[in-house]
Amino acid sequence: MSILRAMEKYNHENLVFGQDRESGLKAIIAIHDTTLGPALGGTRMWAYTSEEEAVWDVLRLARAMTYKAAVAGLDLGGGKAVIISDPGKAKSEELLRAYGRFVDTLKGKYITAADVGICQQDIDIISQETSCAVGRNPSQGGSGDPSPYTALGVFHGMKAIAKIVFGSERLAGKRVAVQGVGQVGYHLCSLLAEEGAELAITDLNRTLVEKAVRAYHAAAVLPEDIFAVQCDIFAPCALGAVINDRTVPELNCRVIAGGANNVLAEEYHGEELLKRGIYYVPDYVLNAGGLINVAEELYGYNRQRVIEKVARIYDTVTEVFQISKREGIPPSQAADRLAEKRLARRKSWWTGQGVSKVG
């Protein structure tokens, strides 16, 4: 692959590689856009099959963070990082501290947080080497685990789309198929069960499935069968690209709304869903609650302020679908337009002030 050509496609500013032989660290940081502020995005630790796969993933994730921050109204840019390794086998304090030093070399242009394979305790270790990490332990002035707020934002977004599609925001009696019951998925199940929704769940981890079945009286489904489950809402809360050429024909839902990033494998899948009468709520609009939560650390953490900001995801979802209906475009494109409008306003302000931005 041509790395520079891949960066040029969506106008990424930086792609930085780092390694530490002693700890085994192999990491990549992608910064997509800092128009609105420093790039903030989590670090994903994953056993990628190749460096090329890792590069494509980090570039996609970084771009999504730019749009997520813009739509959420945050003065932050988009960035993301990946550590190429199996978190269950290779994670160590030495590796995490080496990664913290790598983040620190960017001098505040990138701020990291937790993601798949990286938890709050890991962030606490990374923070020993850099001040550019959020999501730390509350006892240290941090915001803690962001997953409950990600789930809360998805829940508010579900209520908004339920009002549009079903005529009422109440989720009681609605069947929701949740793919992935890790941290975000599990918290989402809790909110849905309390609301009175009927749950069908799946996860590659059988222990997590059994725990959710006991706690929420959910129906367990095999991972390969979750797409065909007859339901009102399909909620992908695991890895991305699950809506693809293979799975779209299997779908048996009215709405797709979940906490996973980059749910659509390709942009044209959003158009395909629209043709099939399936309402897709753009993932970066729905799952911004975790970003909103960790971003508060930068200004002095206030939990009540976070809850109020996350609740506004309801209004954002409503606005996205108003744009989609008015302009006859898929909601994924409508969300992009909302984000791009805010970015354009900031760039226009720079032009008016005679300021030149160099990535």
What's the pLDDT tens digit per position in 152-197?
999 999 999 999 999 999 999 999 999 999 989 999 999 999 999 9
Does residue 140 form part of some domain? no
Per the CB < 8 A criterion, the answer to whether 341 and 316 are in contact is no
pLDDT of 78 above 80: yes
**Residues 105, 13 within the same domain:** yes
Q: Is the dihedral of CA 342, 347, 353, 355 positive or negative?
A: positive
The amino acid at residue 303 is R
Does residue 178 form part of some domain? yes
**Residues 218, 196 within the same domain:** yes
**Residues 52, 151 within the same domain:** no
pLDDT of 16 above 90: yes
Average pLDDT, the chain: 94
- CA–CA dist 81, 116 (Å, integer): 11
**Residues 244, 188 within the same domain:** yes
- CA–CA dist 265, 344 (Å, integer): 26
pTM over 0.85: yes
**Residues 112, 231 within the same domain:** no
**Residues 157, 220 within the same domain:** yes
The pLDDT of residue 194? 98
The pLDDT of residue 351? 62
Q: From the candidates 26, 68, 80, 174, give the one annotated as an active-site residue.
A: 80
**Residues 56, 171 within the same domain:** no
- CA–CA dist 119, 144 (Å, integer): 10
In angstroms, what is the C-alpha Rg of the chain?
20
- CA–CA dist 237, 286 (Å, integer): 11
Q: Which residue has the tokens 């962001």?
A: 146
3-class DSSP state for residue 11?
coil
**Tell me: the pLDDT tens digits for 239-281?**
888 999 999 999 999 999 999 988 999 989 999 999 999 999 9
Per the CB < 8 A criterion, the answer to whether 273 and 324 are in contact is no
Tell me, yes or no, if 347 is annotated catalytic. Answer: no
**Residues 237, 127 within the same domain:** no
pLDDT of 85 above 90: yes
